[in-house]
């Protein structure tokens, strides 16, 4: 400002000669045109047209304006198979050893099913019906309880993954914040690690870790924790950089070192967004913990994968419902927590 005035010798130009530029010019138009062309090109490769046509057919079939659609049939069959949700647990008595018939486990009952099977009579050479009775030990909510306990395990995986992500991202954020990093090398190293962690898909990290740590929760929460650190490290660092410098200067003037300034002047400013990022990572970890179970990294995903592979779609339906309800409840809790901590 001062220099600009010095350049004009202290005599600003009259306002009639000023020029205020329009917000858009030919460069903006060109950019819009180029983006549109790129999207048209990409849209063909991604079969966006086909996607729209098939979706349209499915919608028309859904409201009864069209006989049937490919998408509707495929999805309908699959979704239909999810119902009814299986919540009971059924085990054949013959396979259960040491079970006391007079003293069954709580809530369970024995169901008898008559099974008719046809056997070839060697003399008459005719298939004759033969009625067999099979007994099952039925726990009416057995499977639901199993899924819920798996969900608890999944939630534990998500919690530990979040703790690991937060702990790892604190030093990453310190070294990755331009105004606090001790030197350029530490800054680049931290930013590099953060990008690397974020660019590795959890599923792949989990697959590698399963090789190292074996099947189970350890591989699960480590994989999610590492990926989460890549996310949190980046956002924590950017918030530190963007914090209001005035209180930081006030404390620096009192002789406070970097850590004390961070704690007393920066942390209170960034706390609301840190809470929001961390809750998002927790939410994401719950959802992703269900996915990485697919590669044997523990939790409900392992159960989901097993049931899917054995075509027990009723069970799959129960699992999906429980995951949805968990995410929904977590979202409500997180919203309240956020309001309380930020408000």
Partner 1 sequence: MAAAAIINAALATGREGQAHLSFRGLRKVYADGVAALDGVTAHVARGEFCVVLGPSGSGKSTLLRAVNGLTDLTAGEMVLGDTVLTPKTLHSIRRRVAMVHQQFNLVERVSVAANVLSGAVAEVPGWRAMLGWYPPALRQRTCEVVARVGLDELHLTRRASALSGGQQQRVGIARALLLKPEIILADEPVASLDPAISREVLGLLREAAREQGATVLCSLHQTDLAREFADRIIGMRKGRVVFDGKPALFDARAEAELYEGLAVPGAEPKEKIYA
Site map (CB under 8 A) of partner 1, residues 143-182, x = contact: ----------------------------------------
How many whole angstroms separate alpha carbon 162 and alpha carbon 222? 10
Smallest gap from residue 263 Cβ to partner 1 (A): 5
Select the residue interacting with partner 1 from 137, 265, 304, 323 (CB under 8 A): 265
How many whole angstroms separate alpha carbon 233 and alpha carbon 225? 11
Q: Using the rule CB under 8 A, is 276 a contact of partner 1?
A: no
Tokens 């408000």, residue located: 343
CA atoms within 13 A on the CB side of 73: 6
Q: Using the rule CB under 8 A, is 255 a contact of partner 1?
A: yes
Select the residue interacting with partner 1 from 264, 276, 294, 327 (CB under 8 A): 264
Smallest gap from residue 159 Cβ to partner 1 (A): 23
Smallest gap from residue 339 Cβ to partner 1 (A): 15
CB 325 within 8 A of CB 233: no
Angle at 115 (CA atoms; ends 110, 121), nearest 5 degrees:
145
Count the site residues for partner 1 by CB under 8 A.
26
Q: Using the rule CB under 8 A, is 36 a contact of partner 1?
A: no
Which one of 96-104, 192-200, 201-209, 262-270 is the stretch in contact with partner 1 (CB under 8 A)?
262-270
DSSP of 247-273, one letter per residue? Answer: HHHHHHHTT--HHHHIIIIIHHHHHHH
How many whole angstroms separate alpha carbon 67 and alpha carbon 219? 48
Select the residue interacting with partner 1 from 49, 56, 214, 268 (CB under 8 A): 268
Q: Using the rule CB under 8 A, is 138 a contact of partner 1?
A: no
Select the residue interacting with partner 1 from 196, 249, 331, 341 (CB under 8 A): 249
How many whole angstroms separate alpha carbon 158 and alpha carbon 290? 10
Angle at 154 (CA atoms; ends 153, 156), nearest 5 degrees:
65
* Contact residues: partner 1, CB under 8 A: 1-2, 5, 10, 244, 246-247, 249-257, 259-261, 263-265, 268-269, 271-272
């Amino acid at each position: 400002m001062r220099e600009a005035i010095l350049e004009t010798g202290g005599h600003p130009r009259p306002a009639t000669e000023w020029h205020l530029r329009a917000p858009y010019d030919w460069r903006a138009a060109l950019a819009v045109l180029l983006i549109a062309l790129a999207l048209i090109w990409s849209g063909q490769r991604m079969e966006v047209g086909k996607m729209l046509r098939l979706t349209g057919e499915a919608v028309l079939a859904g409201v009864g304006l069209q006989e049937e659609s490919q998408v509707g049939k495929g999805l309908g069959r699959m979704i239909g198979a999810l119902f009814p949700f299986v919540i009971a647990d059924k085990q054949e008595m013959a396979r259960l050893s040491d079970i006391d018939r007079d003293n069954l486990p709580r809530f369970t009952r024995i169901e008898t099913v008559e099974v008719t099977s046809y056997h070839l009579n060697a003399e008459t050479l005719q298939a004759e019906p033969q009625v067999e009775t099979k007994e099952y030990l039925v726990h009416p909510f057995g499977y639901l309880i199993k899924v819920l306990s798996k969900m608890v395990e999944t939630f534990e995986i998500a919690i530990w993954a979040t703790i690991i992500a937060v702990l790892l991202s604190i030093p990453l954020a310190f070294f990755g914040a331009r105004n606090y990093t001790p030197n350029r090398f530490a800054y680049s190293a931290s930013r590099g690690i953060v990008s690397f962690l974020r660019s590795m898909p959890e599923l792949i990290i989990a697959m590698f870790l399963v090789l190292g740590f074996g099947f189970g929760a350890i591989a699960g929460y480590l994989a999610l924790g590492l990926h989460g650190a890549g996310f949190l490290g980046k956002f924590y660092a950017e918030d530190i950089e963007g914090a209001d410098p005035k209180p930081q200067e006030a404390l620096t003037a009192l002789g406070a070192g970097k850590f004390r300034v961070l704690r007393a002047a920066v942390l209170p400013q960034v706390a609301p967004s840190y809470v929001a990022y961390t809750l998002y990572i927790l939410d994401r970890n719950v959802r992703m913990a269900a996915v990485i179970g697919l590669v044997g990294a523990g939790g409900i995903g392992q159960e989901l994968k097993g049931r899917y592979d054995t075509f027990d779609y009723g069970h799959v339906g129960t699992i999906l419902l429980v995951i949805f309800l968990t995410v929904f409840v977590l979202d409500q809790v997180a919203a309240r927590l956020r309001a309380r901590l930020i408000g």
